[in-house]
């Protein structure tokens, strides 16, 4: 099970396909697995990264309010762990 330590939490993620990275971020409260209907299609041309946001799915759940800034930082941190660099 792919888990990355990002800051103070463990984030669950999956990578499908290869090529230019494409991150699929589900809305708050839903897990990344909800992308199942499209992730394989997108993976034909991209390296699709699917994330369980903090507090959802198989990622850590903390007893605190989550902010958009916090969750954006989680994505940036995961991309750092995966060594994905922007252009």
Domain architecture of the chain: domains with CATH? 3-81 (3.40.50.1820)
pLDDT at 36: 81
Say how far apart CA 79 and CA 21 lie, in whole Å.
Answer: 10
| Tens of pLDDT, residues 9-53 | 999 999 999 999 999 998 766 677 777 889 999 999 999 999 999
Q: Is the pLDDT of residue 5 over 90?
A: yes
Q: Does pTM surpass 0.85? A: yes
37 closest CA partner among 12, 29, 26, 28: 26
């Amino acid at each position: 099970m792919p888990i990355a330590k990002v800051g103070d939490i463990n984030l669950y993620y999956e990578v499908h396909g290869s090529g230019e990275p494409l991150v699929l971020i589900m809305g708050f409260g839903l897990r990344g697995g909800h992308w199942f209907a499209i992730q394989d299609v997108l993976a034909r041309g991209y390296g699709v990264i699917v994330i369980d946001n903090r507090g959802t799915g198989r990622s850590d759940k903390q007893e605190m309010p989550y902010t958009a800034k916090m969750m954006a930082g989680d994505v940036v941190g995961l991309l750092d762990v995966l060594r994905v660099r922007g252009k």
